[in-house]
Chain A
Amino acid sequence: MNSRERVLKLFKKEAIDRVPCFSGMGNITETGINGLGYKFAGIHLDAKQMADTAATTYKLFGYECGVMPVDLCVEAEAMGCVINVYPHAEGILYPTIKEKLIHNEAEMDTIKIPDGFSEKGRIPLMREAIKLLKADIGNDVAVGSYVLGPFTLAGQIMELNDLLKLSFKKADKVAKLLDLCADAIILTAKEFEKAGVDYITVREMGATSDVLSPRVFKNLIMPPLQKVIKAISCHTVLHICGKTNDIVTFMVEAGPTAISVEQKNDVAESRKKLGNDALIFGNVDAYNVLVSGSEDLVRSTVRKCIDDGVSAVWPGCDIWPTVPPQNMKAMIDETITYGGKK
């Protein structure tokens, strides 16, 4: 069973030899980028560089997937936002939105998805990059991509501050905007599917229960999120950051193939709540363990995640690119040696 078969069988809930070690979020490494002689700021704007870099985490460490893009701005940019890739930064800075689309409450009603959306921004570049990555490592590993959740996208195209207050004061208006965001996300995901991805992670990072009440989550966040997940035909993973124990049932109700949580989620408790059948990914602390932890900490964390009942060893966020190579190796090695015992 190779990595690709293992991951795809897992998604179909078929028997596998051990839990896989992979992710649906960013996982490129400085080791990979430097080996190719690329610059971090450049790989967002060049399909070949993006695909080459995305393949290195598998090629160097045996990580069981290839995932693109690297940043979180693809949909917002296609909607018309201006992004900043920090071309002159010395270190690693992820692109951010420089200019919002909605500047006041009234503009929430007038905003539209641009005509010819699938040709806007970097969506054509993403299609090209996915094809290149598939051609390179697609027989060995599953190839994934990600989109944002509607609320997270809305928080990019307008002031998050205003969005949060309005989701309390004028929920109807926000619901309408989220529905429009859902449509834009679906259009994006369809293009990724056409290019051949095996799975798509929907990252609704802004809707954590650190920020919003479970009630707002259910009433406001769920409907457009469900719409997005339902519209995607390939396997889906729903990721939410922060404290998620109170909303894991909602996350499953949203209808994804699997859910993804970070280290603040008590997975043993989630497993108890959701039963043996649910696919729960995540829980490896992508910074404090993977980047700044020792190899031993990485190994003990992997074992704990597996003992607590994760269905895949999967970092709870983008892996920060300065991750030490020995920690990447330790995470994958420990998954291989320990992941079949459970």
Chain B
Amino acid sequence: MADEARKKEILEKLRNGVIQYDEDACREGANEAVAEGLDANEAIFDGLVSGMEEVGRLFEAQEYFVPEILMCADALYAGLDILKPHCKQMDLGVKGSVVIGTVEGDVHDIGKNLVKMMFDVAGFHVYDLGRDVPLDKFVDEQLKTDSELVCLSAMMTTSMVGMPKVIEKIKAKNPNCMIMIGGAPTSKDLADKWGADGYAEDASNALKEAIKMVAFLKKLRDEKAAKQ
């Protein structure tokens, strides 16, 4: 096990690799973390995710825009792919699976992919239905996988109107399932009106919401660890 100073150095490398969209640095940092026996979950949360939080902040401050975020996401995945096989299964008391996709009539999937990334990071099992997904497929997939979360995304006003139908159908069959909607034309009002549990209007907000959700899970994990 590396000493504290070295550990900090590796975490910093992962964090900065994400912020500076440097895939090589993330790969290198991840390999070092594995070789030197760093806890993979810690490397992910305190390195990669911590970097992504800063990216979210830079986006909000309008220093970063969508192209930068996409490159940061590539860097995060470069590290995550290496670290993931070394992760301990997080026991969070939830099954941790999510169905995610862009609704039929919409072929935009950038926001959806960013949210998916944060679920990947959190160790969720992600059932990614892709884009232009027929509405009934969300309902079927939720039932089939018994996922506790369904995320619906749309970037065009012309496609988001399919959302309430899916929400209604899923809630009718499985009232406890949480539903998050997102995309440029959605709003808090619409989410409330349609009975969704969460909403994110753009990639940055989706990222923030997902980070919040993941941060919450991390807190649960830490609390659990502290009790043991």
Contact = CB atoms under 8 A, between A and B. Distances in A.
Interface of A: 84, 86, 89, 91-94, 96-97, 160-161, 164-165, 167-169, 209-213, 216, 241-242, 286-288, 292, 317-318, 320, 322
Given A161-B110, A165-B74, A168-B68, 13 more contacts: A89-B104, A94-B105, A96-B105, A164-B66, A164-B70, A167-B67, A168-B71, A213-B62, A213-B65, A288-B190, A292-B190, A318-B158, A320-B161
Interface string B178-211: 0000001101011001000000001000000000
A172 to B, nearest CB: 15
Contacts of B120: none
B184 A287 contact: no
Contacts of A242: 184
Interface of B: 62, 65-68, 70-71, 74, 104-110, 113, 132, 156-159, 161-162, 184-185, 187, 189-190, 193, 202
Chain A interface helix/strand/loop/mixed: loop
B186 to A, nearest CB: 10
Contacts of B71: 165, 168-169
Contact of B113 (A161, A210, A292, A320): A161
A288 B187 contact: yes
B67 A164 contact: yes
B189 A288 contact: yes
Contacts of B162: 91, 93
A318 B157 contact: yes
Contacts of B132: 84, 96
A249 to B, nearest CB: 17
Contacts of B202: 210
Contacts of B65: 209, 211-213, 216
B59 to A, nearest CB: 10
23 contacts: A84-B132, A86-B104, A92-B158, A92-B161, A93-B162, A94-B156, A94-B158, A96-B106, A96-B107, A97-B107, A161-B113, A167-B67, A168-B67, A168-B68, A168-B71, A169-B71, A210-B66, A212-B65, A212-B67, A241-B184, A286-B157, A288-B189, A292-B193
B113 A287 contact: no
Contacts of A320: 157-158, 161
Given A168-B71, A213-B65, A242-B184, A94 B159 contact: yes
Contact of B70 (A161, A216, A287): A161
Contact of B184 (A94, A210, A292): A210
A30 to B, nearest CB: 11
B69 to A, nearest CB: 9
A263 B124 CA distance: 36
Contacts of B107: 96-97
